[in-house]
Structure 1
Amino acid sequence: MLAVFERIGLSLVEEILAKASGEATLETVTFTNQPTAGKGSVPDARISADFTYLFEVKTVRGTVGAKQLRCHLANLKEGPGRYLFVLTPDPTRPAALDAVDDRRMVWFNFAALYDAITAVVDDAFLAPSERDRFLLRELQALFDNDGLVTSAEVVVVAASQAYPEYLASSAYICQPGRTFREGLTHMGFYAQQAIQPHLARILTREDHVPFTYEEALRREGNGGRDARIGALIRASLETGAREEEQEYMVFLLSEPEDTETVVLEAPVVNDTVAVSGRPWAWTMGQRYVSLAALRRPGVRTTSDLETS
């Protein structure tokens, strides 16, 4: 990664890191007209740079340690242009970073870096050279080959009824005690023979929630996400969508128009067939796939996911 960054130039590196990390700008070099350099000195222009980027890179999930991060930060000066970039394959922000909580520390995963490189390579305004495009695509291929961007952090649920319910309530309700993988960040919906475009961010999950009017009233008085669950319980009981006195598992999800919801360009159509050649459901319960695979250009069918 460092070898590629060294060869593509500072401006492209700056763009990639800014996009991957979500930082508005990571200005490393400043260009100033007629700066004041001192008493009686006003040059026509100045180009200056003062920054330090440290990197801590992990290729195995769950291996970031707070002690190591604190040591890095202790050797990093305060001030603008000082960052410790923590790059890992974890689908969600590692807890060690929250334990340290330093504004100079920025985390992103390989999937975000992969997407940032794609955005820069395809940016007509930045217009990377053919050489730079080649190097960056090779770096992406390395990430892919090492399994650093395919983390299967999206659960796609069978959702003929659940997808319309999500669009109306930004939630998913299922039977209690259902098993899901750890590390999930998004939920997708398989309905009408396709993975639908909305991949909702999982905000919280709560199991064994009693669906009673008393529980709805109690939660509605608490505010926040608890109030959302309370309103969901009340609406489900009033419409008859759920049985009273029963327990359910509840996912609160980002809204369809929320920026945290990933919206695909089009549904991913199921083209799976059985040995006999008859169509076969892509999932009848739940299935896991990586966000990077779903967002990859050219993915239009479920068989594309198997080869992406």
Structure 2
Amino acid sequence: MPSTPLFSTYRQGENRVTSSMLAVFERVGLSVTETILARASGESTLETVVFTNQHSTGKGTVPDARIAADFTYLFEVKTARNAIQDPEQLTGHLQLLDEESGKKTSKRFLFVLTPDPVRPQIVEDLADMRVVWFNFAALHDAITEVLGDALSAPSERDRFLLRELQALFEAEGLISHDDVVVVAAGIAHAEYLENSAYICQPDRFFRPGLTHLGFYAGGAIQPQIARIHTLESRVLFTYAEADLRKTQGRNKARIGEVIRWALDTEVREEGEEYMVFLLSGPEDADTVRLSAPLVNDKVASSGRPWAWTMSQGYTSLVALTRPGVSRTSDLKQA
């Protein structure tokens, strides 16, 4: 019988979400849980229960059938973005996997579950095939797929529990969050393509928690959704400032290069202050590339075309990259 209380009363969000997820997985059973985890992670080797007819033991006897299970799953769950910062925590979990299951045939995985829109760099750096990352959006989508799969056929009770778990993810803000700012870009998109930066007025307000920046130009959200590496709210644009930054570290030096480029090309005035975003380049791996520009189909109440944003608008990587999203109106539906 399941032993974990359903939808835990833990006050800390991380513990509450983890305990509630475990409670649901416990009740819906291994087969459904395994299917959900496989779909969420894209990991096709999660089959942990093996059914075999006429199983040969190599010892002269052949049982008519064999059912066996041999696996260990560990979970590291974070409910805040950019919370995976300690590689020792993950390597410690991997050591536990080695200690708990010494058999070479054992299936051992460390699932890292976070709300991050992209795989945390620490997971990338570990480069261990046992470490499988996915986010709550992928888990939410995997549950939806299972609920709609006639072959999986979860019971009504299981459907209820899985939908309640999805609702918990939504209530905790783990699924949909605006992590992309899209700026109106008369000339800014061309500037970005040339120097991988965005320059605007100093101290401009942007929502916290942003990870990427996109450009609305030519009546469409352009395909390059650049990762934000760093920003400075007030930067003095002078040649002296550009020279001073050469010895102040990588990001400072890069901003110095942006200052010099802007002054050399006369796209910004010397002696003025600006806000500067350093971004991943158009061809960098950190830049999310849409298959095509997202054409604006927003209209005013009169029916006339209307700009999607005249300053800045917010959306999410999840919405931008959902299948079938080709117009700005699709973002709201996603």
Q: Give the TM-score normalised by the residue count of structure 1.
A: 0.69
Name the amino acid aligned to 2:203.
G
Answer yes or no: is the 8 Å Cα contact 1:28–1:51 preserved in 2: no
| Distance in 2, Cα, partners of 1:167 & 1:63 | 27
Q: Which of 65, 77, 82 is 2:96 aligned to?
A: 77
SS of aligned partner of 2:274: strand
Identity of aligned residues (%): 51
User: Gapped runs of 5+ residues in structure 1?
Assistant: 20-24, 30-40, 42-47, 122-128
Distance 2:131 2:228 in 1: 24
1:243 aligned onto 2:269: yes
TM-score between the two structures when normalised by the length of structure 2 = 0.64
Say whether residues 1:142 and 2:166 are aligned partners: yes
CA contact (8 A) 1:172 1:252 kept: yes
Which structure has the bigger radius of gyration? Answer: 2
Q: Aligned to 1:131, what secondary structure does the other structure show?
A: coil
Paired residue for 1:267, among 272, 281, 293? Answer: 293
**Distance in structure 1 (CA, Å) of the matches to 2:214 and 2:300:** 23
Within 5 Å, give how 1:3-152 maps onto structure 2. Answer: 6-7=30-31, 13=37, 16-17=40-41, 52-57=72-77, 61=80, 77=96, 79=98, 84-90=110-116, 108-111=134-137, 113=139, 131=151, 142=166, 148-152=174-178
Alpha-carbon distance change, 145 to 254 in structure 1, aligned in 2, over 3 angstroms: same
Distance 1:28 1:213, change over 3 A: farther
Runs (5+) with no aligned partner, structure 2: 1-20, 49-58, 60-67, 102-106
Give the CA deviation at 1:73.
5.1
Q: 1:112 to 1:188 in 2, by over 3 A?
A: farther
Out of 310, 324, 329, which is 1:284 matched to? 310
C-alpha distance in structure 2 between counterparts of 1:189 and 1:255, whole Å: 13
User: Do the aligned partners of 1:155 and 1:187 also contact (CA within 8 Å) in 2?
Assistant: yes
Shift in Å, 1:299: 1.1
Contact 1:91 1:184 in 2 (8 A): no
Pick from 247, 256, 262 the counterpart of residue 230 of structure 1.
Answer: 256
Task: Tell me the number of residue pairs that the alignment of Structure 1 and Structure 2 aligns.
Answer: 270
Q: Deviations over 1:46-102 (max 9, x none)?
A: xx99753222445x54797999x96995796253976543423355889xx99xx9x
**Shift, 1:188, TM fit:** 0.8
8 Å contact 2:41–2:134 — kept in the other structure?
no
Off by >6 Å, runs of 4+ in structure 1: 25-29, 62-67, 69-72, 103-106, 138-141
| Deviation readout 1:230-274 (Å, 9 max, x if unpaired) | 111101001111111111111111111111111111111111111
Q: Name the amino acid aligned to 2:288.
A: V
Deviation at 1:225, TM superposition (A): 2.5
The answer as to 2:217 corresponding to 1:191 is yes
CA distance in structure 2 between the aligned counterparts of 1:73 and 1:18, rounded to whole angstroms = 24
In 2, Cα distance between equivalents of 1:72 and 1:191: 45
Aligned to 1:162: 188
- Higher mean Cα deviation, 69-78 or 168-177? 69-78
Aligned to 1:45: none
CA RMSD of aligned residues (A): 4.4
